[in-house]
């Protein structure tokens, strides 16, 4: 049985492998939408029972606490926990702003979940 951290580590390794080797296999970098679909496709693995792909404006059908629609590139959940993914096809890496925006999106959904308990 996989523990939560093992499941996350396997997903992260697979995403890294795709990022590292996909340009060598196909000859071209994946564009933003293709990258989102590829990474969210990696969430289809044992241990996750619900998944959603790019373009979702809710988290598994639930609105955020603020009521603002936040685009989620990928998410999966199972009894071990939830993984929420933001995918960026940027050669230079992400910025602090990218990270802060993702943090606030996730926190907004978390606030809604904690209000319902």
Give all strands of the β-sheet with 50-52 in edge-to-edge order. Answer: 50-52, 74-78, 81-85
29-49 pLDDT, tens per residue? 677 888 899 999 999 988 889
In what helix (H) or strand (E) does residue 114 lie, and over which residues does it extend?
helix 96-115
Question: How crowded is residue 45: how many other Cβ atoms within 10 Å of its Cβ?
Answer: 15
70-108 pLDDT, tens per residue? 999 999 998 878 899 998 887 788 899 999 999 999 999
**Single pTM value for the model:** 0.82
CA distance linking residue 15 with residue 103, whole number of Å: 20
């Amino acid at each position: 049985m996989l523990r939560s951290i093992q499941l996350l580590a396997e997903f992260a390794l697979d995403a890294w492998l795709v990022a590292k080797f996909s340009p060598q296999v196909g000859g071209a970098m994946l564009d933003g939408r293709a990258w989102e679909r590829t990474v969210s496709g990696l969430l289809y693995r044992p241990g996750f029972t619900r998944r959603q792909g790019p373009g979702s404006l809710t988290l598994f059908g639930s609105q955020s606490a603020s009521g603002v629609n936040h685009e989620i590139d990928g998410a999966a959940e199972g009894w071990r926990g939830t993984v929420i993914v933001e995918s960026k096809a940027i050669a230079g890496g992400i910025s602090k702003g990218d990270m802060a925006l993702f943090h606030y999106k996730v926190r907004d959904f978390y606030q809604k979940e904690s209000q319902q308990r």
